[in-house]
DNA sequence: TAAACTCGACAACGTGGTTGACCATAACGT
DNA sequence: ACGTTATGGTCAACCACGTTGTCGAGTTTA
């Protein structure tokens, strides 16, 4: 049992608050830099698409959602000008989703902003403490291959 | 600039993975203990309702969403048997949302499970390291009064 | 008492998730 | 070579949860 000092429910709250504060700051800065329409979900989807591009089905697998849901996200990204669908010449069924120049730009900027935000943590806490937090989290919750169906996961 | 070791984008991923892993374990255990239908969003809403109960409008304020959205969440909780609406005798407009016995039970169980999950972190990392993580997060992202419109926030 | 505010509800809509169905195309096993 | 199976993309219907706008009923306040 853990009748230690803090209540156990604080830990998840803090983790979420940390996550949310970083993502909010990212998108505020992204908006300032010419990408006001990107939502968190779009950023994660674009990250999953990557430079080589993917099919909608594969995107669904990476994001942990159905291919139909992935298709809808691609629709949205296409409509916002961040991705495009091109026919695969080698496979008549496939349409490869690729990032547009604008999509790549947003991803590059996001990477820089993330580095900058982490630097602020280092400023406030020291590099060692931030590294310790990361190490602790890596131990308890590997961030590899997790699902990004945040909206659906939390709600319904 | 932060051209240190890890890429900055890993930190938010780790924070989210930590949050999600705790919440997922909580709900797996909650399901095992007789509450299979509670979703994360419901838990947060019930936490915001609390033992004294609130009006839907006030709940919306606490959760950072519109009163209509809060009302829908209450509909859902009512339908699941976790909350009920009772007329306020002192104010003909108000209907106070109160947790049912089942709602209170789920909240009590959740508190115990949260403590237990934190204890697992302490087992794996040591009490001091967990406390340091919490302290770091408290510094960077106070968990007080934040918004729980997770689904809407992440998506649309 | 009249005006202003608040609460709860209804409607319409946007976004993103789900399943189920369907057709076109590839890949595979006789 | 050909029929079966698997895969990819899309359409339709539905659900959950958020939004804004409107409205009637009840309270507060000037």
pLDDT in tens, A56-94: 999 999 999 999 999 999 999 999 999 999 999 999 999
Is residue A141 scored above 90 in pLDDT? no
Is residue B13 scored above 80 in pLDDT? yes
Residues of B with Cβ-Cβ distance to A80 under 8 angstroms: none
Q: How far apart are CA B17 and CA A15, in angstroms?
A: 9
What lies within 8 Å, CB to CB, of A55 at 6+ separation is A88, A94, A95, A96, A97
Contact A107, A47 (CB under 8 A): yes
Q: Where do we find the tokens 């429910």? A: A9
Is residue A4 scored above 60 in pLDDT? no
Q: How far apart are CA A67 and CA A83, in angstroms?
A: 16
Confidence band of B152 (pLDDT split at 50, 70, 90):
confident
Confidence band of B24 (pLDDT split at 50, 70, 90):
very high
Check residues A24 and A142 and name the one with the higher pLDDT: A24
Is residue A5 scored above 60 in pLDDT? no
Confidence band of A37 (pLDDT split at 50, 70, 90):
very high
| Angle in degrees, CA A84, A87, A88, rounded to 5 | 120
What does the pLDDT read at residue A53?
96
Nearest CB to A8 within list B117, B133, B143 = B117
Confidence band of A148 (pLDDT split at 50, 70, 90):
low
What is the Rg, in whole angstroms, of the alpha carbon atoms belonging to chain A?
18
Q: How far apart are CA A103 and CA A83, in angstroms?
A: 6
Smallest CA-to-CA distance from B38 within A156, A7, A8 is with: A156
DSSP B142: -
B130-149 average pLDDT score: 84
Helix (H) or strand (E) holding B49: helix B40-49
CA dihedral B70, B76, B82, B88 (to 10 degrees): 50
A85-110 average pLDDT score: 96
A34 near B CB under 8 A: no
Share of chain B above pLDDT 90, in %: 84
What lies within 8 Å, CB to CB, of A73 at 6+ separation is A41, A42, A45, A59, A63
What does the pLDDT read at residue A145?
62
Residues 108-127 of A with CB under 8 A from B: 110-111, 113-119, 121-122, 124-125, 127
Instruction: Indicate the pairing of strand A95-99 with strand B83-87.
Output: unpaired
pLDDT in tens, B121-139: 999 999 999 999 999 999 9
Share of chain A above pLDDT 70, in %: 92
pLDDT in tens, B79-118: 999 999 999 999 999 999 999 999 999 999 999 999 999 9
Contact A48, A62 (CB under 8 A): yes
B4 near A CB under 8 A: yes
pLDDT in tens, B53-87: 999 999 999 999 999 999 999 999 999 999 999 99
Nearest CB to A41 within list B14, B116, B155 = B155
Q: Do A18 and B122 make contact, defined as CB atoms within 8 angstroms? A: no
């Amino acid at each position: 049992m853990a009748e230690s000092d803090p209540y156990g429910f604080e830990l998840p709250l803090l983790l979420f608050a940390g996550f949310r504060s970083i993502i909010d700051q990212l998108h505020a800065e992204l908006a300032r830099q010419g990408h006001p329409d990107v939502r968190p979900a779009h950023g994660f989807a674009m990250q999953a698409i990557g430079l080589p591009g993917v099919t909608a089905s594969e995107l669904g697998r990476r994001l942990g959602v159905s291919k139909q849901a992935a298709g809808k996200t691609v629709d949205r990204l296409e409509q916002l000008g961040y991705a495009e669908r091109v026919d695969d010449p080698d496979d008549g069924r496939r349409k490869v989703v690729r990032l547009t120049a604008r999509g790549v730009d947003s991803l590059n900027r996001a990477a820089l902003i993330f580095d900058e935000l982490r630097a602020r943590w280092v400023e406030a806490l020291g590099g060692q403490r931030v590294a310790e937090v990361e190490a602790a989290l890596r131990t308890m919750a590997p961030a590899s291959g997790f699902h990004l169906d945040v909206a659906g996961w939390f709600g319904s």
